Amino acid sequence: MKEKERNFLDPPYTMESLVAIMRYLRGPDGCPWDRTQTAVSIRNNILEEAAEAVEALDRRDWENFREELGDLLLQVVFQAQIAESDGRFDFDDIVDTLCRKLISRHTHVFGVDRAATSDEALNLWQRNKEAARTAAGETTAAPISTALHALPAELPRLIRAHKVQKKAAESGFDWTDIADMWEKLDEEIAELKSAATAGDLAACTEELGDLLFMTVNLARHLEVNADAALAAATRKFVDRFESMELLCAADGVNLRDLDPETREDYWRAAKSGKTNEDREGR
């Protein structure tokens, strides 16, 4: 490597350093593995790194979150370098497209429009988005179902359900009374119970899906992120389960060997944050 080519290896590092490093890794003197990758071969890395970043964020682990954001950024730069090698576009094209979009969508900041509230800003964003589509020759009169089908299938299921409901609501098709939603939720639970009592697996699958979809709908109206709520509940269960195992280990017993009543006793202690001394009244 020539001395002038080593500049990107010297700190402090910038975005330009990252792009230069990735370009070198994909070059003739770079990494054999990096050189052989395609856009499709590293496709799943985008999903995995995004999921790991979200997990770090949910745990408020800011050091890990910073690292995971870097790993996610790597996927963008990696894909950009592959696209550049294939003659499609490069990283600068990605940045240019994004900057143009941010400026054109924020006409209340960079233009003559005004938005005093978040809702007004979102409405302007959507209006400008539709205007851009019209200018590009796309019709804005397409059926709502077209937009529903266009939502990425790879989205986490709860998030996709939320987006489907929100998009449908934009046409006016939405619940207007939350009391009706609670009633519908009870109805879906009753239908699932009926299917389970009948031992009908296919019906159970369908009814459970309806119940989950309705739950997401209710969460949307309560302004609760259903995906984040489920992630938090799952994380809480895992943490409590770990606490229960630690309590068992401290007593020299194996969780698997306990009778249901004793196991439940340990579980209640874990939920309440009790130590073994507290649990035994010592």
Tell me the pLDDT tens digit for each residue of 88-135: 999 999 999 999 999 999 999 999 999 999 999 999 998 998 888 888
Provide the b/e sequence for 232-250 (b: ≥16 CB within 10 Å).
Answer: eeeeeeeebeebbeebbee
Given the structure tokens 């209640």, which residue do they identify? 268
**In angstroms, rounded to a whole number, what is the distance separating the alpha carbons of residues 46 and 71?**
9
pLDDT digits (tens, 9 = 90+) for 154-203: 889 999 999 999 999 988 999 999 999 999 999 999 999 999 999 999 99
Place of tokens 């009169």: 141
Q: At what angle do helices 43-58 and 226-250 cross, to 10 degrees?
A: 70
Per the CB < 8 A criterion, the answer to whether 105 and 129 are in contact is: yes
Q: pLDDT at position 134, please?
A: 82
6 pLDDT higher than 60 = no
Radius of gyration of the chain (CA): 26
Distances (CA, A) of 218 to 175, 223, 225: 9, 9, 10
What is the rounded CA–CA span in Å between residue 136 and residue 99? 18
**pLDDT over 60 at 4, yes or no:** no
pLDDT of residue 64: 98
Neighbouring residues of 164: CB distance < 8 A, sequence distance ≥ 6:
148, 151
pLDDT score of 146: 83
Write out the CATH class of domain 3-104.
mainly alpha
Cβ distance 8 to 1 under 8 Å? no
CA 94 from centre of chain: 22
Q: How confident is the model at residue 282 (pLDDT cuts 50, 70, 90)?
A: very low
The three-class DSSP label of residue 130 is helix
Domain boundaries, the chain: 3-104, 228-279
pLDDT tens profile 57-98:
989 999 999 999 999 999 999 999 999 999 999 999 999 999
As a whole number of angstroms, the distance between CA 236 and CA 232 comes to 6
Among 266, 261, 263, 264, which residue's Cα sits nearest to residue 280? 266
Say if residue 5's pLDDT is above 80.
no
Residue 60 confidence (pLDDT): 94
Confidence grade of residue 153 (pLDDT, cut at 50, 70, 90): confident
DSSP state of 273: T
* Of residues 172, 179, 176, 174, the one with CA closest to residue 162: 174
* 216 contact partners, CB below 8 Å, separation of at least 6: 158, 161, 162, 165, 226
CA geometry: angle 263, 267, 272, nearest 5 deg = 150
Q: Would you give the distance in Å from CA 165 to the centre of its chain?
A: 17
Q: What's the whole-number mean pLDDT along residues 217-229?
A: 96
Q: What's the CA gap between 218 and 201, in Å, rounded? A: 25
pLDDT in tens, 225-281: 999 999 999 999 999 999 999 999 999 999 999 999 999 999 999 999 866 556 555
